[in-house]
Amino acid sequence: MANDQNVLIFTDGACTGNPGPGGWASIVSLPGGNVHELGGGVKETTNNRMEMAAAIRALAMLDLAEQNSIILYTDSTYLIKGITQWIWGWRSRGWKNAEGGDVANRDLWEELLRQVTRLKPSTIDWKYVRGHAGYPGNERCDEIAVSFAKGNPEQLYVGPLDGYFVDLKDLPEAQPLPEKSAGGSKSGGRSKNGGPGSKSGGGGGPATYLSYYAGQVKRHYTWADCEKTVKGRNAKFKKAKSPLEEREILIGWGLDPGVLS
């Protein structure tokens, strides 16, 4: 669980064609209460390089005066396994993979490792979040990355957390890292069943999604339906697992909980 003393980061990459035009995006929430949206584009690249670029640029902007815990959410298994597992074997073999070939994206792996090392003794907790599952930080990063890939970049927010239109307190639950072989591409993606409601086990019944845009509150029964309302807009949205959670969300937004009755 993040707290006010942690650095909270969301990252994402996008690419049309793979290789093709790409974009990367990061959201960095600092202990002092400020949020920085970062983003950029490359004319010819790959999805994996954009995922890595997002993490590198987010870490590179940090100038920590004291030891902090850094929590970084990404939907790239390639990024997480590369920096936490594979990179040590690659480096010990002279940047060769297990088959003896050159490690792909070596330049970015070396820069990412340099940033991780620079930030010590602060620690980085690399957390997996399934893409397109309705988590605000991940969805906003996806929106920014896609906009840069398409050459029509979103306006980036820099300012106080209290004024940010994305609910960064709505953090993903702990999720197991999907199995992926070294050098593989991004895992996960949009659920074929319309969102994260297909998740098995636990919970208090089917999830709903609340959206608040232009003074109107709506209840949605699939993430796909909610996404149609909030995508590309400065809208509030949040997943609820019970009527009680719906009520708490509305109160948290400063609304009358009876608005959906």
Q: Tens of pLDDT along 114-129? A: 999 999 999 999 999 9
Residue 184 confidence (pLDDT) above 90? no
Mean pLDDT value of segment 58-65: 94
Residue 193 confidence (pLDDT) above 60? no
The confidence band for 154, taking pLDDT boundaries of 50, 70 and 90, is: very high
189 sits in the region (left: phi over 0; alpha: psi -120 to 50; else beta) called left
Beta carbons of 219 and 210 less than 8 angstroms apart: yes
Largest CA distance in the chain: 63
CA distances from 220 to 45, 55, 259 (A): 36, 32, 14
- Residue 253 has a pLDDT of 79
- Residue 3 has a pLDDT of 55
CA 214 to chain CA mean position, Å: 25
Cβ count within 10 A of residue 27: 28
Q: What distance in Å separates the CA atoms of residue 157 and residue 145, rounded to the nearest whole number?
A: 14
Residue 13 confidence (pLDDT) above 90? yes
Q: What distance in Å separates the CA atoms of residue 36 and residue 96, rounded to the nearest whole number?
A: 36
Mean pLDDT value of segment 172-198: 52
The confidence band for 232, taking pLDDT boundaries of 50, 70 and 90, is: confident
The confidence band for 199, taking pLDDT boundaries of 50, 70 and 90, is: very low
Mean pLDDT value of segment 166-187: 70
Domain ranges of the chain: 7-189, 191-261
- Residue 205 has a pLDDT of 53
The answer to which of 103-112, 116-125, 181-190, 212-221 has the lowest mean pLDDT is: 181-190
In what helix (H) or strand (E) does residue 223 lie, and over which residues does it extend? helix 223-230
- Mean pLDDT rounded to a whole number for the chain: 85
- Residue 72 has a pLDDT of 97
Mean pLDDT value of segment 30-46: 95
Copy the structure tokens of residue 50: 């954009």
Active-site positions read: 12-13, 51, 75, 132, 142
Mean pLDDT value of segment 239-250: 81
Residue 213 confidence (pLDDT) above 60? yes
The beta strands (E) that lie in the chain are given as 7-15, 20-29, 34-45, 69-74, 123-128, 158-160, 208-213, 216-220, 236-240
- Residue 180 has a pLDDT of 53
- Residue 116 has a pLDDT of 97
Beta carbons of 13 and 143 less than 8 angstroms apart: no
pLDDT in tens, 15-37: 988 899 999 999 999 998 999 99
- Residue 241 burial (C-beta neighbours within 10 Å; 0-12, 13-18, 19+): middle
Identify the CA nearest to 48 among candidates 14, 74, 20, 72.
14
* Fold designation for 7-189: Nucleotidyltransferase; domain 5 (3.30.420)
Residue 187 confidence (pLDDT) above 50? no
